[in-house]
A and B are shown apart, each in its own frame.
Chain A
Amino acid sequence: MKIPRILFWFCLVTFLAIFPLVVKTPYFIHIFILVGMYVIFALSYDLSVGQVGVLSLAHPAFFGVGAYTAAILSVNYDFPPLLCFLLGGILAAVLALGIGIPSFRLSQHSFAIGTLGFALIAELISRNWIDLTRGPMGIPGIPRPTLSIPYLFSWKIDTLTKFYYFMGILVLLGVGFYHTLATSRIGRAFRSIREDEILAASAGVHILKYKMIAFISGAAMAGIIGVYYAYWYTLVSPEQLSLYYTTNLLIIVFLGGRGSLRGIVLGAFLFTALPEFLRITPQLRLILYGIILLFVVLYFPDGIERILQRLTTPKRIISAFEKE
């Protein structure tokens, strides 16, 4: 079983690597970049929602902090992009620490509402702190980044294909980070908290510490992908902090299956690519998203992961479980 799985991922990566060389349509490349963005964004969200089981609704704030960091620093102060990536991640992590300290005193519902309150405050600030963020107009004209380390290398990302490969690298790093974290000792601690917080605590798992690790590392990932978004889209506005992103993330994570890497990757692809091809008006799209989300939660709470499990698990094992 081990070898075919590696073969599968290898084929997927190879396919994605040669994709822009074969398909030259900018539209498709754009969509694949968007898929990559949502893969990382959703994985970073899943660290707290899927792995630890705390339902944070503040995630777009971290993405927004990253995006605004890049926009302000590179437009006003001409900071080198690599430093922006670093700072975007760090600032998002610091914000997560600030939000996490009061919010983790809350349990379940209250935590969700408290973090939602922070997300709204962040959006209010981005709309109203005109001197810093230019308010609802947003910050346009973010320059194309040049990734460089003096004397070592310099890579100017000025074409769509280069953005595509840069996103590819980020996705590999993001997936690698998520997978390493989830399969490590820390990941086991995460899931023990998700399954039973009291039991985990009595087994010596430091609840707050691990919740914070998941929350902060997820925020840093979201911040970094926010920086990427700023460079790619060249415009950052308060929309980037809106509840709209929370909905998208919830749909991807729940559609894919919480805590499942392959489910979320597939979920991000289905969620991002399908509506682009269906081409419906934004309002109807959101109604449809709402209905999909409701439907998934009510009838397929384990998402695509469950279907994948059914496909990859031998029949006799399934029937043995169903007999119980």
Chain B
Amino acid sequence: MEIFIEQILNGLTLGSQYALVAVGLALIFGVVEIVNFAHGEFFMLGAYAFAMVYPYDGPVPYPLAILLATAIMVLFGIGYERVVIHPILDKTWHMQIIATLATSIIFINSAMAIWGTTPITIPTSLAKTTVQTAYFNISYQRMMVFGVTALTFIALHLFIQKTKAGKAMRAMSQNREACAVYGINIRKISVLTFAISSGLTGLAAALIAPLFNVLPTMGILLTLKAFAAVIMGGFGRVSGAIYASFIIGLTEALAAGYGHYLNIDSAYRDAFPFGMMVLVLLFRPHGLFGKRVGI
């Protein structure tokens, strides 16, 4: 029982991480129609940014450090949109994928050159203190991850549904030309989408990096798992991507905890998201939560 609850908590933590990254991917795909292969690297850079503003459980208070990391990544997202995305908007999808793939290679190897290949940890006092109950222990850090993730998604939902900018984003995901006709500044909305998506990875990194090791290659698998979530959720559907992220996180954690009963080495836990993605693609190519689209 204890193992079960612990794995569920692990799964929810992983799910939160994947969801915060996958939402950004889904938004970018839905609104700007770009598949951003560098999105996991945003998380990695966010983690290093957080490590720089909060290296030893200080010098600034933790909430401020979270805001700083998020703000750095918002600025990064805006810069990324201007330098990389803007020139490829009118290119074919081949070119777009390869351009973002190329930037992801540049980010990974630049991070290696700057911070080295040894994993670093970012200690926080919240991660060390735990609440003990009859069945399980949980650190304050994890509780905060769940709380902030939930609040973030509520805020994002309200933003997309209620505000003018959010409505413009939804409109743009439906028909870009019509938006331009109605005087929506497409350029601005595209920048905004990247700012939000990139900021979310910064937030995710500041929340979750203290629980794991930080290393330059951490983004590669993350990008792919987030993609798996986006595909399983139905391409470009934000809510679907969130549900799928948690499904993936829970499956992965349970596979790691119970896989040895089925003779599955825990080293294969990373294969589960892709295995599930393949199954979904075989039987429901338009995703678990998506509607059939296209031709």
Nearest-CB residue, chain A, relative to B275 = A121
Of A10-18, A21-29, A287-295, which stretch is located at the interface? A287-295
Residues of B within 8 A of A161 (CB): none
Q: Report whether over half of chain A's contact residues are helix, strand or loop; otherwise say mixed.
A: helix
Q: How would residues 102 to 114 of chain B score, 1 for a CB under 8 Å from any chain A CB and 0 otherwise?
A: 1111101110110
Query: In B76-102, which residues have CB < 8 Å from any A CB?
Result: 84, 87-88, 91, 93-95, 97-99, 101-102
B166 at the interface (CB under 8 A from A): no
- Whether the Cβ atoms of B97 and A55 lie closer than 8 Å is yes
Query: In A277-324, which residues have CB < 8 Å from any B CB?
Result: 283-284, 286-287, 289-291, 293-294, 297-298, 301
Q: How large is the interface on A (under 10, 10 to 19, 20 to 34, 35 or more residues)?
A: 35 or more
- Whether the Cβ atoms of A294 and B102 lie closer than 8 Å is yes
Nearest-CB residue, chain B, relative to A295 = B102
- Whether the Cβ atoms of A290 and B267 lie closer than 8 Å is no
- Whether the Cβ atoms of A114 and B102 lie closer than 8 Å is no
Q: A109-B93, A112-B35 are in contact. Are A117 and B228 (CB under 8 A)?
A: yes
Tally of contacts, chain A with chain B, CB under 8 A: 114
Closest approach, in angstroms, between the C-beta of B285 and any C-beta of chain A? 5
Of A1-9, A99-107, A148-156, A210-218, which stretch is located at the interface? A99-107
Q: How would residues 233 to 275 of chain B score, 1 for a CB under 8 Å from any chain A CB and 0 otherwise?
A: 0010000000000000000000000000000010110110111
Query: In A73-123, which residues have CB < 8 Å from any B CB?
Result: 102-103, 105-110, 112-114, 116-118, 120-121
Q: A53-B94, A127-B267 are in contact. Are A294 and B35 (CB under 8 A)?
A: no
Residues of A within 8 A of B131 (CB): none
Of B16-24, B153-161, B204-212, B219-227, which stretch is located at the interface? B219-227
- Whether the Cβ atoms of A124 and B285 lie closer than 8 Å is no
Query: In A254-279, which residues have CB < 8 Å from any B CB?
Result: 254
A243 at the interface (CB under 8 A from B): yes
Residues of A within 8 A of B273 (CB): 117
* B281 partner, pick from A108, A114, A121, beta carbons under 8 A: A114
* B94 partner, pick from A55, A105, A125, A247, beta carbons under 8 A: A55
Q: A106-B281, A121-B275, A198-B295 are in contact. Are A287 and B99 (CB under 8 A)?
A: no
Closest approach, in angstroms, between the C-beta of B275 and any C-beta of chain A? 7
Closest approach, in angstroms, between the C-beta of B109 and any C-beta of chain A? 4
Nearest-CB residue, chain A, relative to B91 = A301
Q: How far is the CA of A124 from the CA of B278 in the complex (A)?
A: 16
- Whether the Cβ atoms of B224 and A290 lie closer than 8 Å is no
Residues of B within 8 A of A180 (CB): none
Q: A117-B278, A120-B221 are in contact. Are A110 and B99 (CB under 8 A)?
A: no
Closest approach, in angstroms, between the C-beta of A33 and any C-beta of chain B? 26
Query: In B97-151, which residues have CB < 8 Å from any A CB?
Result: 97-99, 101-106, 108-110, 112-113
Residues of A within 8 A of B277 (CB): 114, 117
Residues of B within 8 A of A181 (CB): none
A146 at the interface (CB under 8 A from B): no
Q: How far is the CA of A184 from the CA of B35 in the complex (A)?
A: 34
Closest approach, in angstroms, between the C-beta of B292 and any C-beta of chain A? 12
- Whether the Cβ atoms of B102 and A293 lie closer than 8 Å is yes
A34 at the interface (CB under 8 A from B): no
Residues of A within 8 A of B224 (CB): 113, 116-117, 120
Q: How far is the CA of A55 from the CA of B92 in the complex (A)?
A: 12
* B231 partner, pick from A110, A121, A247, A254, beta carbons under 8 A: A110
- Whether the Cβ atoms of A113 and B109 lie closer than 8 Å is no
B282 at the interface (CB under 8 A from A): yes
Q: A121-B274, A247-B101 are in contact. Are A106 and B285 (CB under 8 A)?
A: yes
Nearest-CB residue, chain B, relative to A101 = B282
B294 at the interface (CB under 8 A from A): yes
Q: A113-B227, A128-B265 are in contact. Are A290 and B274 (CB under 8 A)?
A: no
Q: How far is the CA of A106 from the CA of B235 in the complex (A)?
A: 11
- Whether the Cβ atoms of B99 and A109 lie closer than 8 Å is no
* A250 partner, pick from B101, B104, B112, beta carbons under 8 A: B101
- Whether the Cβ atoms of A290 and B106 lie closer than 8 Å is yes
Residues of B within 8 A of A293 (CB): 98, 101-102, 105
Residues of B within 8 A of A297 (CB): 88, 91, 95, 98-99, 102
Q: A107-B294, A120-B221, A128-B265 are in contact. Are A298 and B99 (CB under 8 A)?
A: yes
Residues of A within 8 A of B87 (CB): 298
Q: How far is the CA of A120 from the CA of B222 in the complex (A)?
A: 12
- Whether the Cβ atoms of B227 and A102 lie closer than 8 Å is no
- Whether the Cβ atoms of A113 and B231 lie closer than 8 Å is yes
Closest approach, in angstroms, between the C-beta of A88 and any C-beta of chain B? 23
Residues of A within 8 A of B265 (CB): 128
22 interchain pairs, CB-CB under 8 A: A102-B281, A102-B282, A109-B35, A113-B227, A114-B231, A114-B281, A118-B274, A120-B224, A120-B271, A124-B270, A124-B271, A128-B265, A247-B105, A254-B98, A283-B109, A284-B113, A287-B106, A287-B110, A294-B84, A294-B99, A294-B102, A297-B98
Apart from A102-B281, A290-B103, 6 more pairs, CB < 8 Å: A102-B282, A105-B282, A109-B35, A112-B35, A283-B113, A284-B113
Residues of chain B whose beta carbon lies under 8 Å from any beta carbon of chain A: 29, 35, 84, 87-88, 91, 93-95, 97-99, 101-106, 108-110, 112-113, 220-221, 224, 227-228, 231, 235, 265, 267-268, 270-271, 273-275, 277-278, 281-282, 285, 294-295
Closest 10 CB pairs of A and B: A290-B106, A117-B274, A290-B105, A293-B102, A294-B102, A128-B267, A286-B109, A109-B35, A287-B109, A113-B227
Residues of chain A whose beta carbon lies under 8 Å from any beta carbon of chain B: 53, 55, 102-103, 105-110, 112-114, 116-118, 120-121, 124-125, 127-128, 198, 243, 247, 250, 254, 283-284, 286-287, 289-291, 293-294, 297-298, 301
